[in-house]
Amino acid sequence: MKFWQKICLFSIITFIVIFNAASIMVIERNHSKMLQQEINNTLSANMSINSSVNAIVPILRIYDSIDYEKTVLTNIAQEFVEKNSGQGNYLEIAGDQNKTIYSNLDFDMPTEREEQEGLQPDEIRYILRDIGSRTLLFTTNVTDINHKSYRFTYIKDVTPLYTERMEQYNFFVKIDVAACLLYIIVMFLISKGLTRPIDKMVRTAKEIAQGQFSERVQLKSRDEIGVLATNFNEMASVVEDKIIELERNNSAQQRFINNITHELKTPLTSIIGYANYLRTTKYDETVFLEGVNVIYNEGKRLEALSSKLMDLILLTDRQPLMKPDNLKDIVAEMESSLRLIASAKQIELELQCGDSPLPAEKDLIKVVIFNLVDNAVKASGEKGRITVRTAMQGEACVLEVADEGSGIAEEHIDNIFEPFYMADKARTRNNNGAGLGLSICRSIADLHHAAIEVVSVIGQGTTIRVVFGQQNRVIEVSGS
């Protein structure tokens, strides 16, 4: 059963139970009050008859005649009946041995009269009886006259009260049916309206489950369901971001596997090929030395590749121990080694270092500086220029390495920090590169909560800036 159906059904059941119970209680209470009022009036009338009889008892004692007593009692009864004629009033006066003295009954009196058992003088009892299709109220009392007991039974027809109650019930049934139908229609509309936002969220959830992660619930209400929809949208946004991130990571991991497979295949093919060639041919010193050199160089290449891969693995789980240091001092310590790698291409290395204090792990910062300068040397032509700068930028420390080399095309800049990615594969292989240097730099920058910015123009050179003191890595692109 759907939620809106539950709301509609339970509210209708509750309404029917409460409405019917309240209506029945009102009808019964009204009937009880009217019946009690009628009982009180009938008892008062009986007491009035009894008072009239008691008033003439002294006279009856004077005459002490049964016939006279019967005549007087008959006259009193007739006079009372005449005053209350047409109102469903009946009076019966019976003497000893239940002999009837007066009666205007139009029905047969029941044979058993339990209200008369043990009845004492000046005591009035009443009882309701159904006789035929009528409901009659019997009131009975006993009066002693000249040592004789006379029983007075005053009867009131209260059938109209019960008829009215049935009419009220009939009317209530009609009202009840109309009210329930109206309530069902209203609750149907209300429950559908209340649960419409939930239906939207259900549909949106199904669409998201089918892969449409950009779907959102469009609601403007400010109630609890509106808050739920807002939280649902926020959750969907987080899920979408996580899925996009997982897909991106999965793609990066797949590229990493493909690249490392390719990078390992080339030197291994050369090693296996030359080893097999030397194994199956006659010894020739020139050929032997050439093959051994190729095997050695390719082995060194594999060694460098495995070293850099190990660095990446270690950096992933590493928690660096930060100590106060200065970028200027770190660059100064590396100056001789940096000039050595630059001298291979007769490249001019210019250092423009200002004080840049920061907490860092010195060895990792040296790796960053070395890789950035090494990449700059590989990208530069003979007798080029590389500039290394350190400075303060507000509260952030900046390390900048700029070259005047070939530059990086704009479509490659977003990917240059991925492992094994090479914008210029031919140039990188000629320089024994594997495309891991910038990936290592990014990992170290992330450990230091630093941002890396890249500005590159084709044919004019590339500037890479590492900004320490920022929580997120940002890549700024400029190129042509």
**Number of neighbours of residue 242 by Cβ within 10 angstroms:** 11
**Other CB atoms within 10 A of residue 269 CB:** 11
Q: Regarding predicted confidence, which is higher, 124 or 257?
A: 124
Structure tokens at 412: 């490659």
Contact 77, 91 (CB under 8 A): yes
- In whole angstroms, what is the distance from residue 327 CA to residue 365 CA? 8
Q: What is the DSSP string of 34-70?
A: HHHHHHHHHHHHHHHHHHHHHHHHHHHHHH--HHHHH
What is the pTM (predicted TM-score) of this model?
0.50
C-alpha 179/C-alpha 176 separation (Å) is 5
Sheet containing strand 450-457, strands side by side: 348-353, 385-393, 396-403, 461-468, 450-457
Handedness of CA 469, 475, 478, 480 (dihedral sign): positive
Which one, of 456, 450, 307, 315, lies nearest residue 379 by Cα?
456
Average pLDDT over residues 311-323: 67
| Per-residue tokens: 306 | 């495995």
Mean pLDDT of 388-409: 90
Instruction: Judge whether 440 and 461 are in contact, CB under 8 Å.
Output: no
Burial class of residue 113 in the structure, from the number of CB atoms within 10 Å of its CB (0-12 exposed, 13-18 middle, 19+ buried): middle
Q: What is the pLDDT of residue 26?
A: 94
- pLDDT of 434 > 60? The answer is no
Tokens coding 157: 């027809």
Q: ∠ at Cα 109 (105, 114), nearest 5°?
A: 130
- pLDDT (tens digit per residue) in 55-85: 887 787 777 777 888 888 888 888 888 887 6
Express each pLDDT in 203-215 by its tens digit. Answer: 888 887 887 777 7
Which residues are CB-neighbours of 354 under 8 A, at least 6 positions away?
328, 389, 390, 391, 392
pLDDT at residue 164 tops 80:
yes
243: three-class secondary structure by DSSP: helix
Residue limits of CATH 3.30.450.20 in the chain: 3-165
Nearest to 233 by CA among 206, 247, 213: 213
Query: Which of 189-193, 253-257, 451-455 tops mean pLDDT?
Result: 451-455
Range with lowest mean pLDDT among 215-219, 253-257, 316-320, 454-458:
316-320
pLDDT at 337: 82
Distance CA 390, CA 327 (A): 6
What distance in Å separates the CA atoms of residue 189 and residue 26, rounded to the nearest whole number? 30
Evaluate whether 240 touches 207 at the Cβ level (below 8 Å).
no
pLDDT digits (tens, 9 = 90+) for 299-311: 876 776 676 666 6
Mean of the per-residue pLDDT values of the chain: 82
d(CA 199, CA 279): 75
pLDDT tens digits for range 345-394: 889 999 999 999 999 888 788 888 888 998 899 888 888 899 999 999 88
Is 175 a residue whose pLDDT tops 70? yes
**What pLDDT shows up at residue 258?**
66
pLDDT of 390 reads 93
For residue 342, is pLDDT > 70?
yes
Closest CA to 342 of 308, 378, 369, 366: 378
Please report the pLDDT score of residue 426 as a whole number.
41
Which whole-number Å values give the CA distances from 23 to 20, 178, 202, 478, in the listed order?
5, 14, 41, 82
Produce one character per residue of 314-351: b if its CB has 16 or more CB atoms within 10 Å, e if not: ebeeeebeeeebbbbebbeebeeebeebbeeeebebeb
- Asked if residue 477 has pLDDT above 60, the reply is no
3-165 classified as CATH 3.30.450.20: yes
In a 10 Å sphere around its CB, with 0-12 CB exposed, 13-18 middle and 19+ buried, how is residue 380 labelled? Answer: buried
Q: What is the pLDDT of residue 473?
A: 41
Q: What is the CA radius of gyration of the chain?
A: 56
- Helix ranges (H only) for 281-326 are 285-317
Flag whether pLDDT at 427 surpasses 60: no
Q: Taking the C-alpha atoms of 49, 55, 56 and 62 in order, what is their torsion angle to the nearest 10 degrees?
A: 150
- 87 or 33, higher pLDDT: 33
- At residue 474 the predicted structure's pLDDT band, cuts being 50, 70 and 90, is very low
The whole-number pLDDT of residue 61 equals 74
| Res 170: pLDDT | 94
pLDDT attached to residue 311: 63
Q: Strand, helix or coil at 118?
A: coil
Q: Specify the CATH class of 318-480 in words.
A: alpha beta
- The predicted pLDDT at position 388 comes to 93
Cβ atoms of 145 and 69 closer than 8 Å: yes
Average pLDDT estimate for 335-350 = 87
**pLDDT for position 476:** 44
Mean pLDDT of 232-254: 81
Q: Tell me how far apart the alpha carbons of residues 292 and 299 are, in angstroms, rounded to a whole number.
A: 10
- Residues with Cβ within 8 Å of residue 360, at least 6 apart in sequence: 320, 322, 323, 325, 330, 448, 468
Instruction: Report the pLDDT value the prediction gives residue 433, as an integer from 0 to 100.
Output: 47
Residues of the chain with CATH 3.30.565.10: 318-480
Average pLDDT on 25-49 reads 92
In one-letter notation, the amino acid at residue 45 is: A
pLDDT above 50: residue 428: no
- Mean pLDDT in residue range 102-127: 85
